A and B are shown apart, each in its own frame.
Chain A
Amino acid sequence: MTSLATEAPMASPVAEPLRPIAVEMTGVDKWYGTFQALKGIDLTVRKGEKIVICGPSGSGKSTLIRCINRLEPHDKGTITVNGIELDGSPGRTQDVRLECGMVFQQFNLFPHLTILENCMLAPRLGRGVAKEQAEAIARRYLERVRIGEQAMKYPSQLSGGQQQRVAIARALCMEPRIMLFDEPTSALDPEMIKEVLQVMEDLAAEGMTMICVTHEMGFARRVANRCVFMDKGEIVEEATAEDFFGNPDSDRLKQFLAQILH
Chain B
Amino acid sequence: MNISTADFWGYVGQMLDGAVVTIQLFMSGFTLALVFGVAIGIITLSRNIVIQAVWRVYASIIMGVPSLLIIFLLYYGGSAMLRGLFGNNLYVDVTPFGAGLAALTIVYAAYVAELVHGAVRNLPRGQFEACAALAIRPVSAWRHVIMPQLARLALPGLVNIWLIVLKDTPLVSLAGLNDLVANAKIAAGATKEPFVFFIAASLFFVVASALTMPLSNWLERRFARGLQRVKA
In the bound complex, residues from chain B placing their C-beta under 8 Å from that of A111 are 149, 226-227
- Which single residue of chain B is at the shortest CB-CB distance from A107? B126
The interface-forming segment of B93-101, B131-139, B211-219 is: B131-139
> Do residues A126 and B136 form an inter-chain contact, with CB atoms below 8 A?
yes
In the bound complex, residues from chain A placing their C-beta under 8 Å from that of B47 are none
In the bound complex, residues from chain A placing their C-beta under 8 Å from that of B145 are 110, 121
* A170 to B137 CA separation, bound complex (whole angstroms): 16
- On whether A122 and B135 interact (CB within 8 A), knowing A108-B129, A110-B130, A112-B149, the answer reads yes
- On whether A104 and B230 interact (CB within 8 A), knowing A121-B144, A125-B140, A170-B134, the answer reads no
Q: How large is the interface on A (under 10, 10 to 19, 20 to 34, 35 or more residues)?
A: 20 to 34
Q: How large is the interface on B (under 10, 10 to 19, 20 to 34, 35 or more residues)?
A: 20 to 34
A102 to chain B minimum Cβ distance, whole angstroms, is: 4
* A106 to B125 CA separation, bound complex (whole angstroms): 11
B143 to chain A minimum Cβ distance, whole angstroms, is: 9
Q: In this complex, which of B130, B140, B152 has the most chain A Cβ atoms within 10 angstroms of its Cβ?
A: B130
Q: Which of B127, B132, B135, B226 interacts with A154 by CB under 8 Å?
A: B226
> Do residues B134 and A174 form an inter-chain contact, with CB atoms below 8 A?
yes
Interface status of B84 (Cβ within 8 A of chain A): no
Q: Which of A106, A108, A112 interacts with B152 by CB under 8 Å?
A: A112
- On whether A94 and B227 interact (CB within 8 A), knowing A104-B129, A108-B127, A110-B127, the answer reads no
Contact with B along A108-124 (1 / 0, CB 8 A): 11111110000001100
Q: Which residues of B contact A (CB under 8 A)?
A: 124, 126-127, 129-130, 132-137, 140, 144-145, 148-149, 152, 223, 225-227, 229-230
Q: Which 4 interchain pairs have the tightest Cβ spacing?
A: A154-B226, A108-B126, A122-B134, A108-B130
* A and B contact pairs by CB, cutoff 8 A, 24 listed: A71-B133, A97-B135, A100-B133, A101-B133, A102-B133, A104-B126, A106-B124, A108-B124, A110-B130, A111-B149, A112-B148, A112-B149, A112-B152, A112-B223, A112-B226, A113-B226, A121-B136, A156-B226, A157-B226, A157-B229, A157-B230, A170-B134, A171-B133, A174-B134
